[in-house]
Structure 1
Amino acid sequence: MATHHDHSNSAWSVFLIFLRLGLTSFGGPIAHLGYFHTEFVTRRQWLTDRSYADLVALCQFLPGPASSQVGIALGMSRAGYAGALAAWAGFTLPSAVALILFALGISHYGDAISAGALHGLKVVAVAVVAQALWGMARNLCTDVPRVTLMGIAACVSLLLPGAWGQVAVMAIAGFVGLLLFNARQSDGHDPLPITISRRAGAICLSLFLALLVGLPLLTELYPNQTMVMVDAFYRVGSLVFGGGHVVLPLLQAEVVPSGWVSNEAFLAGYGAAQAIPGPLFTFAAFLGASMNLSPSGWVGGLICLLAIFAPSFLLIIGVLPFWEQLRRSVRTQAALAGVNAAVVGLLLAALYQPVWTSAILQPQDLALALVALIALMFWKLPPWLVVVASGVAGWLLSAVV
């Protein structure tokens, strides 16, 4: 392991690690958390399972794209603010650039990716999520009450899908954890290797709120198309709970009725956003590039991309220093034990819906997922290789069958 630790503390190496993930992480936010787990907990040992689960729980509670926020925090733990920026850029730019190119009318490449290959990529997400789920469950659901909590959380999440259901499950699980797990049982916690001063945290939180309240006022006072776009995308980025898919109806409400983007373009971009790796929030880059306003194109795409991700940065940097302190308290740890069991339950529910239901449609899909899972867990092949191989296999299967 030593080799990893020697070189991975620079922002540039953080960027390269996340760039590889940004090019190969298909399957939406839950799958991304699986890829991150494999890369940073299992392979590189940047942090422990418990730290990772705590971080995921925190990012699920905050509004914004959970997987991107986990990435930002991981980058920050290695190389400070530059690392946070590097992790975000590496993970986000591949899909943002692809979507801006798509928006600029290079639609003939859209058909070059065969449906079979895309399906193979959905199938491999099943294996990635299953592997992460197995690893996390083994470490976090260590006794009967925790396994029970996990099961209940999974059931509730399947019966009440949607962001508020998830937040409610985690809140209740935290309360149950407080009652069930006493301080003696608490296993201590593994600190996140992140140092942010409380002052920096307070400044970022104040800035987050100031922009949320101030941008609408500014657009009233100085009506200007760029300001209007920044306000709309910043607001969406601040108010989305529960990950990527929730962002789509909110964005549609902002850009289609106002005539900024036609509904056809919106749906075409939505399809393309499903087909590429990386975070769904990069859909903002597609919309910015497709605007009927100026700026559009590359400038519009980058403005909207930065506006929708800005709240995530401010929130993560703002909350982490206070979170570290909270986690040290015995009662918080008891509550977190409950929340972490529930996080595994939510992951289990997501493994079924949407990951399994959108991928496993025929016997050969299950066969491919099984081979991918064995390749990841037992042959210990790198995830990107398994992803590429599954895409090829899906394409070949679709050609044969």
Structure 2
Amino acid sequence: MTDKKFQNRSPLTVFLIFLRLGLTSFGGPIAHLGYFREEFVSRRKWLTEKSYADLVALCQFLPGPASSQVGIAIGLSQAGYTGALAAWLGFTLPSAFALILFALGISHYGDMLSPGVLHGLKIVAVAVVAHAVWGMAKSLCTDTLRISIMALATCWVLLFPTALGQVLVILAAGLFGALFFKAQAATAQDSLPLTLGRRAGFFFLFLFFLLLGGLPLLASLFSHPALAMTDAFYRAGSLVFGGGHVVLPLLQAAVVPSGWVSGDAFLAGYGAAQAVPGPLFTFAAFLGASMQKVPSGLMGGLLCLGAIFLPSFLLVFGALPFWEGLRRSRRMQTALAGINAAVVGLLLAALYTPVWTSAIFRPQDFGLALIAFIALMFWKLPPWLVVLGAGFGGWGMSLFF
């Protein structure tokens, strides 16, 4: 296997293409993958249909934000490591800076914003998470055993609402799936559109696990807020299977009980994150900018943004040399099936607390959440429009109820 095989495109070209996508890609990770396919398979012919599907399969197998990881891999295939960074910057910075500005606006001018608008943003988070739970459960919890894993994971996380409890239930579900699930027959696949040497893969995987184990140790030895924030957000980016919405319970457990971010600000920011294009993981930038400790503001937002996405780079670079073998492993397939069922349970627990318990207090709140859910689920309205409508709805309810 060669050490690397990249196209010879300019990182600036990659950046500008992904910047346009970052400014216009509304609709969540599935929609993002559709935009990428249209741009890089149908329009530019950078990848074949099968090669693109192979990249998507790899990134769905890894923890972290699948659409961002696909973007990183495409940038890597076209312009090497600088291309991977350029693709991520272009796709991520528009929504990240929008959410940082929103966080700064709340902190400096929150008194000027109607409490009803903020409450509407908290209510729309109920609809968004419920919609995510429904869609993920339909595709990932397809039989009695998977539904049971989902239910047990939900109960466990509600009983032990800590980041460690969430990690343990993911590991237990993966072990159960590896032991008791039946794998599907292997199908023929195209080779990946790029390769990295195994030596490079080992290095990046070693660095990933070194940081995953070393950051908690450093944070305990040196009581510095920046280290604690880096540890919490790196861990969230390392242990989330299932995409953007599933990061909600890990981040909530990290920043709200510790007092770093208030529960109201957390849900208001999560609602606002639905109204911007790009990856949902940029919610980390909002949280970093909202910190009630230093660093906060712009520096806090960028620190948390980098920490939550760093595992994606390390995992994509590290997994590429070994993916051909891993994807044919039936034991890995069944472990992932158990993990996927468990993450639906984690998201269902998050739907109850903190999302529901912090937003639904009156019948009017439930009614607005129901309308928002129907708008997403059946009317197929774009999320940003539903968020704006919920904000106005919350403002209207504050005037009349």
Q: Do both share a fold (TM > 0.5)?
A: yes
Question: C-alpha distance in 1, partners of 2:190/2:166?
Answer: 25
Q: Check if 1:317 corresponds to 2:316.
A: yes
Question: C-alpha distance in 1, partners of 2:191/2:394?
Answer: 39
Cα contact 1:51–1:190 (8 A) shared by 2? no
Counterparts in 2 of 1:281-360, with a 5 A limit?
A: 281-282=284-285, 283-285=287-289, 300=299, 304-305=303-304, 308-309=307-308, 311-321=310-320, 324=323, 325-360=325-360
Once the two structures are overlaid, the 10-residue window that deviates more, 282-291 or 152-161, is 282-291
Cα contact 2:289–2:297 (8 A) shared by 1? no
In the alignment, what sits opposite 2:8? Answer: none
Question: C-alpha distance in 1, partners of 2:305/2:34?
Answer: 31
Question: C-alpha distance in 2, partners of 1:362/1:288?
Answer: 30
Question: C-alpha distance in 1, partners of 2:192/2:122?
Answer: 33
Cα contact 2:233–2:304 (8 A) shared by 1? no
Give unpaired runs (5+ residues) of structure 2. Answer: 1-12, 39-48, 77-83, 240-248, 274-281
In the alignment, what sits opposite 1:75? Answer: 71
Moved beyond 6 Å, runs of 4+: 41-54, 187-194, 209-214, 249-252
Question: C-alpha distance in 1, partners of 2:69/2:15?
Answer: 13
Cα contact 1:157–1:166 (8 A) shared by 2? yes
Q: Check if 1:245 corresponds to 2:252.
A: yes
Give the SS at the match of 1:368: helix
Give 1:95's match in structure 2, choosing from 79, 89, 99.
99
Cα contact 2:195–2:321 (8 A) shared by 1? no
Q: 1:67-98 CA distances to partner (integer Å, 9 max, x unpaired)?
A: xx445314325544132232332332222244
Cα contact 1:245–1:280 (8 A) shared by 2? no
Give 1:85's match in structure 2, choosing from 76, 86, 89.
89
Q: 1:223-254 CA distances to partner (integer Å, 9 max, x unpaired)?
A: xxxxx8876654454455663234437987xx
In the alignment, what sits opposite 1:39? Answer: 31
Cα contact 1:178–1:335 (8 A) shared by 2? yes
The RMSD of aligned alpha carbons is 4.3
Q: Check if 1:391 corresponds to 2:384.
A: no
Counterparts in 2 of 1:1-400, with a 5 A limit?
A: 11-19=15-23, 36-37=28-29, 39-40=31-32, 58-59=62-63, 69-70=65-66, 72-80=68-76, 81=84, 82-99=86-103, 107=108, 109-183=109-183, 185=184, 195=194, 197=196, 198-205=198-205, 234-239=230-235, 243-248=250-255, 272=265, 274-276=267-269, 277-278=272-273, 279-282=282-285, 283-285=287-289, 300=299, 304-305=303-304, 308-309=307-308, 311-321=310-320, 324=323, 325-400=325-400
Give unpaired runs (5+ residues) of structure 1. Answer: 1-8, 25-34, 60-65, 221-227, 253-265
Give the SS at the match of 1:111: helix
Question: C-alpha distance in 2, partners of 1:363/1:331?
Answer: 47
The CA deviation at 1:166 is 1.2
In the alignment, what sits opposite 2:43? Answer: none
The CA deviation at 1:400 is 0.9
Question: With structure 2 as the length reference, what TM-score do the two structures score?
Answer: 0.67
Cα contact 1:14–1:87 (8 A) shared by 2? yes
Give the SS at the match of 1:127: helix
Cα contact 1:247–1:281 (8 A) shared by 2? no
Identity value in percent: 37
Counterpart of 1:353, as a letter, is T
Q: 1:26-83 CA distances to partner (integer Å, 9 max, x unpaired)?
A: xxxxxxxxx6246346888889999989857743xxxxxx5xx445314325544132
Cα contact 1:174–1:337 (8 A) shared by 2? yes
Counterpart of 2:19, as a letter, is F
Cα contact 2:205–2:319 (8 A) shared by 1? no
Question: C-alpha distance in 1, partners of 2:156/2:185?
Answer: 26
Classify 1:96/1:312 alpha carbon distance in 2 versus 1 (closer, same or farther; 3 Å): farther
Question: C-alpha distance in 1, partners of 2:374/2:193?
Answer: 34
Cα contact 1:14–1:78 (8 A) shared by 2? no
Cα contact 1:53–1:340 (8 A) shared by 2? no
Cα contact 1:201–1:318 (8 A) shared by 2? yes
The CA deviation at 1:397 is 1.0
Q: 1:245-288 CA distances to partner (integer Å, 9 max, x unpaired)?
A: 34437987xxxxxxxxxxxxx668x8656533344532434569
Once the two structures are overlaid, the 10-residue window that deviates more, 90-99 or 115-124, is 90-99
The CA deviation at 1:188 is 6.2
Question: With structure 1 as the length reference, what TM-score do the two structures score?
Answer: 0.67
Question: C-alpha distance in 2, partners of 1:305/1:336?
Answer: 27
The CA deviation at 1:320 is 3.7
The CA deviation at 1:142 is 1.5
Classify 1:391/1:152 alpha carbon distance in 2 versus 1 (closer, same or farther; 3 Å): same
Give the SS at the match of 2:142: coil
Classify 1:310/1:360 alpha carbon distance in 2 versus 1 (closer, same or farther; 3 Å): closer
The CA deviation at 1:165 is 1.3
